[in-house]
Amino acid sequence: MERLQKVIASCGFCSRRKAEEYIKNGQVKVNNKVASLGMRVSYDDRIEVLNTLINAKEDKEYYLLYKPSNIISSACDELGRKTVVDLIDSNVRIYPVGRLDYDTSGLILLTNDGVLTNFLSHPKNEIEKVYVAKVKGIISPKEFMQLKKGLKIDERLVKVTYLKVLSKNADTCYVKIGIVEGRNHIIKRLFSFLGHDVVKLKRVSYAFLNLDGLSKGEYRKLSVKEVKRLYSLVGK
């Protein structure tokens, strides 16, 4: 069981804060009754927001998208900008699993499976995400070891699971780095802590999934085997 506002957000309808607003205003129903803030529900409950059923029983769809930069990682955008959902040809309401920054490219998953989305997004499951960052300046051996050991950002240690300098020239270098969390701008903040700006950032893998065979803006469906493998990661 999860808090209602969290379930609404994970179904891609709106943000958790907006969901709380809808609940407070009596605009959310659970099993045909007006909901209250903080109540706990399951993904099997009938949930309506603004008279729209948000979790109707649908066939589950799973997509892996190579997100271009300057695309919003959201189901919709108040400013009318293009979102990752706009790039997928689907007749069901899908939404991204987690997010990538507007100016970050790379691998992002989209689905209408709220349970899997919640599992993959929960910090305790520590799903590895690997990025390639183009960084201003050269990472020194001392800075490399600092990153490898992990840095504290906002008093919380960022666990680095993989680290390799791929190449470098006079004023920039490319670094491959893996982490298991999803705080906003966390890769950029890691390098900024060491005095290096990130010029370009791409997520190249998510758990065991990668971008092989895809160009920017392209996507593919996940296989049944891949979906089962994602579920198998939960709770390990």
- Residues classed as catalytic: 101
| Residue pair 8/42 in contact by the 8 Å Cβ criterion | no
The 3-state secondary structure of the chain, one letter per residue: CEEHHHHHHHCCCCCHHHHHHHHHCCCEEECCEECCCCCEECCCCCEEECCEECCCCCCCCEEEEEECCCCECCCCCCCCCCEHHHHCCCCCCCEECCCCCCCCEEEEEEECCHHHHHHHHCHHHCCCEEEEEEEECCCCHHHHHHHHHCEEECCEEECEEEEEEEEECCCEEEEEEEECCCCCCHHHHHHHHCCCCEEEEEEEEECCEECCCCCCCCEEECCHHHHHHHHHHCCC
Rounded Cα gap, residues 156 and 148, in angstroms: 15
Q: What tokens does 72 get? A: 């919003």
- Give me the helix-helix angle, 114-121 and 224-233, nearest 10°: 50
Phi, psi (rounded to 5 degrees) for 140: -80, 160
